[in-house]
Amino acid sequence: MDDQERVIAARYRLLHLLGQGSMGTVWAAHDEVLGRQVAVKGILHTPGMPDVEAAQLRERTMREARAVAALSHPNLVTLYDVVQHDGNPYVVMELVPSRSLGEVLKEQGCLTEKQGAAVLDAVAAALESAHRVGITHRDVKPGNVLIADDGRVKLTDFGIARNVAEATMTARGITLGTPAYIAPEVAQGGDVSAAADRWSLGATVWAAMAGEPPYVGRNVMQTINAVINGEVPVPAGAGRLAPVISGLMQKDPEQRMSLVDVRRKVYPLLPEPGTDAFEIRAPRPMPVIVRPKPKIEPDAPLAADPGPLPFQVTKPAAPERTPITRTLVLVAAVVLFLVGSGGGFALTRLVAGAPLLPPVEQGAPTLPTLPSSPTFEQRTENAVTAAGDQGGKFTLKVDQSWTRYAEQRAADQRVPASAVVHFVSPSGAYEVAVQRFPDFYPKRKIAEYVAAVQARWASRFYGGEKVPTPNLAGARTEDGIQFVYKTVEGDEATALRRSHFSRVLPYGNDLWVVEVVVPTEQEDAARERLFDAIASTFAPV
C-alpha cells in the first residue's frame, strides 16, 4: 500500500513525503479528527541495529516525545501527539510553511543585525522554555531554525532531544549533533547539557552573521579538532551582537552567558513592534483532503466515549500551507550533510579511542545488579506545576547517585495537571517518581487516578490488588491506597517489562503518588530494598 493511502493510528492520513533520513521519515498528513494538516515523523529501525537496541530506541522516542509534548511556546514547533502504529512510534507535529535559516543564508549570504537579533531572541526563548523542564535540544543549527512565511522564528526537530535523565538509556558513542555547531565538551564525548545548547546557539548566530560556520575544516575530522583545540574565533560581521555571541561561545560551560542575559542584551536591537525582520512570503496552498460528511440516521446511537485525549486541547489552527518543492530540496540537502558529518564524527571518536557503539548483546539483556545497601540521602524537592501553585515541597530519601529531573503533565478528562519529580538510577533500570496533583479534592477520588493510569497504558496495563497504606499526618478526604501494576513497553519480542509500586496518598486538597519502577524480573527483591525503604521516608513539607 502506498504511503499516501496509509492511515496512522486510525487518524492521520499521509498525504505526501516531505523527507527521509537515516533515522526517520516525515510526511505531510491530514488529521481526520480535527480536520487540520500536520507533519508526521516515523522513526525507522536502523538496518543492523540489534532488536534490543531498536526496542530501546522506540521506547526512548516515546518518552522524549511525551516530554516535549509538555512544551508550549510560540517559538517552538508544537508537538501535537505521539502514537504507536504497527509497533513503531510516530510523532505528530505542527506543519509550518517556512524556510530554514540555512536556506535563508544561501539566498542572502548573511543576516542583518535586526534579523540576527530576532533569531537570537526567539531561539533563546525557545531553549529557555525547554531547559526549564529539563529538556535539551542537542542539535541547534541553522537547519533547525525555521523562518516561517509569516515572519515568525521557530526552533524545530527535537528528534535527538532527550530529557536529561534519559542519558543512561542512550548508548555512548552514537553521533549526536552537527560537528560545526557542537560544543567542545560534546565533541570530546561528554554529556549534552543546557550549556551545550547555548554554545550551539552562539555558533548558529555566528554563522548567520558571517555567512559561514565558525569552524571550517577541509573535512569533518579537521572541524572537530578545531572545535576542541582551536581558539574561539571573533564573531565576523556581527556588529553589536558580537559580545552576545562571544558570551555564548565560551570553552568553559560554566562561563557561558545565560539565556536570560542573551534576551536582555538583544532586546534593544529587535525590530520595532509591528514590523518583521524577515520578508513575508505568500505560501502556495497544500493539497487538502475533502471528504463528504457521514450520513447520520436520526435514531442512530452515539459513538462510545473514546477516552482521554492524548494531548491538551488548544484552539485548532487554520490549515497550514508550504512550498513543497523547496521543502524537499532542503530536506535532501540536510540529510546529505548529516550523513557526511556523522561518519566523520564517528571516525574521530574511533581514532580517539572512544567506543563508537556498545557491544552487541546476545540474547536477553543482562539485568543490572539490584543495590543491596543503597546510600540513601535525604532530599528536599519541589513539585510545582507550571501554574506556579504553592505547597509542593516534600522530602524523600533516595540514593545519592540517582539523577533528578522534573516533568509537567497536562490535565486530561480524569485528572488535573500535575508535577512529577523523577530520580533515575545510573543504569536507568530503576526510577522513583513523586507526582503531585494540586487541588485534586474535593472534586475527585483516588479511583479516578487509578482509571487514568489504566487509560494511559490501555491494554498493556496489568493491575494488582489495591490495599490500604499508612496515611500521611494531617487532614484528608479519603484514605490512601497502595497497589502494584505491571506494564509492557515496546514489541512483545523484545519487550521491557516493568513493575510499578504505587503509594497513593491524600494530603489536604492535594493527591501525592510515590512510585518506584523496577524490572519485573526483580520485583520481589526490589519491593523490600527499594520501594519499602524509599516510600516510607516520603513526607510533604
Q: DSSP characters for 271-295?
A: PPTT--SS----PPPPP----PPPP
* Dihedral (CA of 426, 404, 158, 212) sign: negative
Side-chain-side CA neighbours of 318 within 13 Å: the count stands at 4
Q: Quick one: cell of 429? A: 533500570
Query: Would you tell me how many other CB atoms lie within 10 Å of the CB of residue 417?
Result: 18
112, with CB counted inside 10 A (0-12, 13-18, 19+), is middle
- Residue written as grid cell 568553559: 252
Q: Which listed residue (31, 81, 121, 139) is catalytic?
A: 139
The residue ranges of DSSP E strands in 70-220, in sequence order, are: 79-85, 88-94, 98-100, 135-136, 145-148, 153-155, 162-163
Grid coordinates of 202:
552562539
> Which residues pair with residue 41 across a beta bridge?
26, 91
* Closest by CA position to 394, among listed 250, 538, 255, 293: 538
Spatial distance between the Cα atoms of 123 and 262, rounded to a whole number of angstroms: 10
Active site residue 3: no
Task: Say how many residues make up the chain.
Answer: 541
- How far apart, in whole angstroms, are the C-alpha atoms of residue 13 and residue 34? 12
Q: Which parts of 341-495 are beta strand (E)?
A: 376-382, 393-399, 403-409, 418-424, 431-437, 461-463, 467-468, 481-489
Burial class of residue 537, CB neighbours in 10 A (0-12, 13-18, 19+): middle
The C-alpha cell of 330 is what?
A: 532542503
Beta strands in 402-530 (DSSP E): 403-409, 418-424, 431-437, 461-463, 467-468, 481-489, 496-507, 510-519
92 in Cβ contact with 122 (< 8 Å): no
Distance between CA 536 and CA 187 in Å, rounded? 43
Report yes or no: 41 and 90 within 8 Å, Cβ to Cβ.
Answer: yes
Which residues belong to the active site?
139
